[in-house]
Amino acid sequence: MTTDDEVQPVLLALDWGTSSLRAFLMDAHGVVLRERSSAHGIQNLPEPGVRGFEAAFRALCGDDIARWPHLPVVAGGMVGSAQGWTEAPYITCPADISALARQAAVVKSGLGPDIRIAPGVLYDPADGTPDVMRGEEIQIAGALALHPELSARACVVLPGTHSKWAFIEDGRIVSFVSYMTGELFAVLSRHSILGRLMPTDGIRETDGSGFSRGLADARKGGPGDLPHQLFATRTLGLTGRLPHAALPDYLSGLLIGQELVSGLAHLAHTPGAPLVLIGDGALCRRYQNALAAFEVSPAAVLENTAPTGLFQFAVAAGLVAGQPAHF
Amino acid sequence: MTTDDEVQPVLLALDWGTSSLRAFLMDAHGVVLRERSSAHGIQNLPEPGVRGFEAAFRALCGDDIARWPHLPVVAGGMVGSAQGWTEAPYITCPADISALARQAAVVKSGLGPDIRIAPGVLYDPADGTPDVMRGEEIQIAGALALHPELSARACVVLPGTHSKWAFIEDGRIVSFVSYMTGELFAVLSRHSILGRLMPTDGIRETDGSGFSRGLADARKGGPGDLPHQLFATRTLGLTGRLPHAALPDYLSGLLIGQELVSGLAHLAHTPGAPLVLIGDGALCRRYQNALAAFEVSPAAVLENTAPTGLFQFAVAAGLVAGQPAHF
């Protein structure tokens, strides 16, 4: 180890998803000393197969490993999926950080270090359909470390391509629900008739009336109504009720509104649980606006809790002796 | 006019949709003497713009027009849309065949004859979102001519890309609801993560367990649940609960089930109205199976009622003196 750094890193943490790889060099308090990222998500590797994972890891972290060859390395996200570097099979709810650490997968990098990869989580209710998450469990672990008061009972909402509503009790994920909100928006805008009247220049900044109307219509919907309600994205444009520039916002409001109608119905089963949003700032603001229309205020809005979650994972795995960060 | 035909045609009726053009030569009783079709739907014309419509019409019907230059010509479907040969603006509900005829658009073909084009129909409830149909109103007119007992009160269901549930009272379309069922199935199978686990060889014949499960899950869903339920198309495959070959059927069952949950809730407002299915045989059988799971039997299943509907349209427009067919 070199001695010319003021603060020694104790962990290299990788947040390795579908479209990007992010590496965090962390100190003994879980503080991020340095962040790097590349576009080498698991669906965009520089070479096919395992060699691609090696090459992406070397390109982003090779100099760090050369400098600190004994630095523990952990990873979370799609890198542990069946299409990842090595598969870390799902663990079942109720799931906590200890279970994630106990059932981690390990892959030996050609650069030297073992990389400990977090599993995803499966929720498998007896009378329902199974649901899965991979990556979000790390974000949730980070949120609970940053806000220990949430561990007792909380609803953690992670908006995105496949939004998650995770219900926390006693520091464990007891159940969760996925919504294909982001992917539905993208696929319907690009590939269905609903995109035909939308502006092609990507204009999204409007007065918000489209979004509000979408939310209001979603609240009015009964069971099974969505495949009908979506068609209004076309008819409101055809009949001039909404300007074409407002149609993307209408569709967004309709889809986020549906997610909120269903998610808040789940939340009603655990009354009083605080709702926490985790995600990109602009997307969280959109969800905050939507929640406000439903008269719900999140108890906290957190941006990226993955580094803290990966640190917790490393602590639980016995790789790091440091204490969780408290900000 | 020639005199060497046993039966003289009195009408040339065009069913001109997005992906095909069909021409029916009809006698004074509304019987189809001859049918021809081409792939020159309005999105697949041989030349751009108005010239494309002329060329497609000439290619399919030029010899008929040369032989019977005074034969009335009517058309229905997307040919009357804003992207059509000429726009026949929507008429509003309640709408009947007389209103369609009164507000038809006329385009003069370079071949000689005027072509009378049926309008589409707009349903514009004061407290809801507008809905539109174009082409289905002709199919409905045909169904009511073939089954006059339905004119008093009926629910006509036309499954498809954008399924319609139309409510009939006193021979008029009083309201209707569109569902993007077919388009959602196509777009999600081809362009979303849900298609990833599906067989690529188009296998759809399974034991039907995927379809039944999709229907059952749709019935269990609450408001807003669809964006969550869709994700089960992935998780049931990931966890091995359904074979991958059954996933298209599961998605189909989920989407058709949602349509039925919502459509039958609308139908409950007009209790006792018989339900009629109109459409392609295989698709109608799929809907019949789905309806059976909901303990509903259609009063009739009709294949293609467009020629009869176009004949009614021509009669209402005063172009044909013949009587409607009764089979």
Residue A206 banded pLDDT, cuts 50, 70, 90: low
Q: Does B229 touch chain A (CB under 8 A)?
A: yes
Are A155 and A149 spatial neighbours (Cβ–Cβ below 8 Å)? no
Contact A132 B193 (CB under 8 A): no
Contact A179 B231 (CB under 8 A): yes
* Phi then psi dihedrals of residue A304, to 5 deg: -125, 105
Residue B175's alpha-carbon distances to A63, A193, A312, B133, B199, in angstroms, are 68, 22, 58, 11, 39
Give tens-digit pLDDT for B74-88.
999 999 999 999 999
Exposed e or buried b per residue across A9-42, where buried means at least 16 C-beta atoms within 10 angstroms of its C-beta? bbbbbbbbbbeebbbbbbbbebbbeeeeebebbb
Residue A30 banded pLDDT, cuts 50, 70, 90: very high
C-alpha to C-alpha distance for A56 and A47, rounded to whole angstroms: 8
What value does the mean pLDDT of chain A take?
A: 93
* Phi then psi dihedrals of residue B294, to 5 deg: -95, 10
Residue B3 banded pLDDT, cuts 50, 70, 90: very low
Residue A23's alpha-carbon distances to A14, A61, B3, B166, in angstroms, are 5, 8, 86, 57
- Write down the pLDDT at residue B118: 98
Burial classification of residue A265, based on how many CB atoms lie within 10 Å of its CB (0-12 exposed, 13-18 middle, 19 or more buried): middle
Give tens-digit pLDDT for B66-125.
999 999 999 999 999 999 999 999 999 999 999 999 999 999 999 999 999 999 999 999
| Proportion of chain B above pLDDT 90, given as a percent | 90
- B303 to chain A, minimum CA–CA distance in Å? 24
In order of start, what are the domains of chain A with their CATH numbers?
11-149+305-316 (3.30.420.300), 179-302 (3.30.420.310)
Residue B200 banded pLDDT, cuts 50, 70, 90: confident
B167 DSSP β-pair partners: B155, B175
Residue among B179, B232, B262 minimizing CB distance to A129: B232
Kindly list the residues from chain B whose CB atom is less than 8 angstroms away from the CB atom of residue A231.
131, 162, 178-180
Residue A202 banded pLDDT, cuts 50, 70, 90: low
- Write down the pLDDT at residue B204: 59
For the record, the structure tokens of B191 come out as: 């362009």
Q: How many CB pairs under 8 A join A and B?
A: 151
Burial classification of residue B70, based on how many CB atoms lie within 10 Å of its CB (0-12 exposed, 13-18 middle, 19 or more buried): exposed
Q: Does A168 touch chain B (CB under 8 A)?
A: no
Q: For chain B, what is the total number of helices (H) and then of strands (E)?
A: 10, 14
In terms of Cα–Cα distance, which of A44, A45, A34, A29 is closest to A12? Answer: A34
C-alpha to C-alpha distance for A309 and A11, rounded to whole angstroms: 12
- Write down the pLDDT at residue A327: 35
Contact A130 B238 (CB under 8 A): yes
Give tens-digit pLDDT for A44-58.
999 998 999 999 999
pLDDT at A17 over 50: yes
Angle at the Cα of A95 from the Cα atoms of A94 and A97, rounded to 5 degrees: 150
| Proportion of chain A above pLDDT 90, given as a percent | 90
Chain A residue whose CA is closest to B258: A224
- Write down the pLDDT at residue A207: 77
C-alpha to C-alpha distance for A186 and A203, rounded to whole angstroms: 14
Give tens-digit pLDDT for A274-326.
999 999 999 999 999 999 999 999 999 999 999 999 999 999 999 998 654 44
Within 10 Å of residue A4's Cβ, how many Cβ atoms?
A: 4
- A192 to chain B, minimum CA–CA distance in Å? 7
Residue among B132, B177, B235 minimizing CB distance to A132: B235
What value does the mean pLDDT of chain B take?
A: 93
In this prediction the ipTM stands at 0.92
C-alpha to C-alpha distance for B275 and B256, rounded to whole angstroms: 16
- Write down the pLDDT at residue B127: 83
B25 DSSP β-pair partners: B12, B34
pLDDT at B203 over 90: no
Q: Which of B43, B226, B256 to mutate to test the interface with A (most CBs of A within 10 A)?
A: B226
Residue among B181, B183, B258 minimizing CB distance to A193: B183
Give tens-digit pLDDT for A73-103.
999 999 999 999 999 999 999 999 999 999 9
Q: Does B45 touch chain A (CB under 8 A)?
A: no
- Write down the pLDDT at residue B325: 43
Residue B275 carries which side chain, given as an amino acid letter?
L
Find the range with the poorest average confidence among A60-69, A100-109, A242-251, A318-327: A318-327
Kindly list the residues from chain B whose CB atom is less than 8 angstroms away from the CB atom of residue A236.
129-130
C-alpha to C-alpha distance for A195 and A229, rounded to whole angstroms: 15
